[in-house]
Amino acid sequence: MKPFLLISRSAEYETRLRSLLGSRLAVVPGEFLMLGPQTVVERVHHQPRIALLGPVLNFEETRGLVGELTQRYPEIGLIVVREQRTDLEDWVDDLPLHAVLSPHAADSTTTELLDRLSGWLVSNGRAVPEDFEEPPASEVGEVIAALVHGSPDAEPLNEADQVEAGSESQPFEWEFPPLESGVPSEAIGVVAPKGGQGKTTIAVNLATGLAEVAPNSVVLVDADLQFGDITAALNLTPERTIVDAVADSAQDELVLKTALTHHSDGFFVVASAPSPELGDAVASDALGHLIERLRETFRYVVVDTTPGLGDHTLAVVEHVTDAVFVSNMSVASLRAMRTEFQLLTTLGLMPSNRHFVLNQVDKMSGLTVKDSEALVGAPVDVAVPKSSAVLLASNRGIPLIHDDVRDPAARAVRSVVMRIAPEAYPKRTKIQRRWRSNGTE
Ligand SMILES: Nc1ncnc2c1ncn2[C@@H]1O[C@H](COP(=O)(O)OP(=O)(O)OP(=O)(O)O)[C@@H](O)[C@H]1O
Ligand SMILES: [Mg+2]
Ligand 1 atom closest to Cα of residue 194: 25
Residue 287's nearest CA partner among 310, 312, 262 is 312
Mean pLDDT (the chain, rounded) = 82
Q: For ligand 1, say whether the CB of 327 is within 6 Å of any of its atoms.
A: no
**How far does the centroid of ligand 2 lie from the alpha carbon of residue 153, in Å?**
54
Residues with CB under 5 A from ligand 2 (ion): 199-200
Give the chain's domains with CATH numbers.
Answer: 4-175 (3.40.50.2300), 186-437 (3.40.50.300)
The confidence score (pLDDT) of residue 112 equals 87
Q: Pick the ligand that lies closest to the CA of residue 416.
A: 1
- Burial class of residue 19, CB neighbours in 10 A (0-12, 13-18, 19+): exposed
Q: Pick the ligand that lies closest to the CA of residue 384.
A: 1
> 109-113, 140-144, 201-205 — which one is most confidently predicted on average?
201-205
> Following DSSP, what letter does each residue of 363-383 receive, concatenated?
GGGS--HHHHHHHHTS--SEE
The confidence score (pLDDT) of residue 135 equals 47
Q: Residue range 361-375: average pLDDT?
A: 93
Is the pLDDT at 252 greater than 90? The verdict is no
Partners of 52 in the β-ladder = 6, 79
Q: For ligand 1, say whether the CB of 305 is within 6 Å of any of its atoms.
A: no
pLDDT bucket at 253, cuts 50 / 70 / 90: low
Ligand 1 atom closest to Cα of residue 233: 17
**How far does the centroid of ligand 2 lie from the alpha carbon of residue 357, in Å?**
15
Question: What percent of the chain is modeled with pLDDT above 90?
Answer: 53
Ligand 1 atom closest to Cα of residue 204: 18
Q: At 219, which amino acid appears?
A: V
**How far does the centroid of ligand 2 lie from the alpha carbon of residue 218, in Å?**
19
Cis peptide before 55 (omega within 30 of 0): yes
Q: For ligand 1, say whether the CB of 396 is within 6 Å of any of its atoms.
A: no
* Phi, psi of 215, rounded to the nearest 5 degrees: -60, 135
Overall pTM surpassing 0.85 (yes/no): no
Tell me how far apart the alpha carbons of residues 242 and 259 are, in angstroms, rounded to a whole number.
Answer: 7
Give the count of alpha carbons within 13 A of 340, CB side only: 28
> 94-103, 153-162, 383-392 — which one is most confidently predicted on average?
383-392
- Eight-state DSSP code of residue 23: G
Q: Residue range 245-271: average pLDDT?
A: 83
> Following DSSP, what letter does each residue of 245-313 receive, concatenated?
HHHHTTS-HHHHHTT-EEETTTEEEEPPPSSHHHHHTS-HHHHHHHHHHHHTT-SEEEEEE-SS--HHH
Q: For ligand 1, say whether the CB of 195 is within 6 Å of any of its atoms.
A: yes
**Between vectors from CA 202 to CA 307 and to CA 256, what angle results, nearest 5°?**
80
Nearest CA to ligand 1 atom 15: 198
**How far does the centroid of ligand 2 lie from the alpha carbon of residue 225, in Å?**
10
CA distances for 58 relative to 202, 314, 375, 415, angstroms: 21, 32, 32, 12
**How far does the centroid of ligand 2 lie from the alpha carbon of residue 307, in Å?**
8
Q: For ligand 1, say whether the CB of 201 is within 6 Å of any of its atoms.
A: yes
Span of 67-76, 120-129, 270-279 with lowest mean pLDDT: 120-129
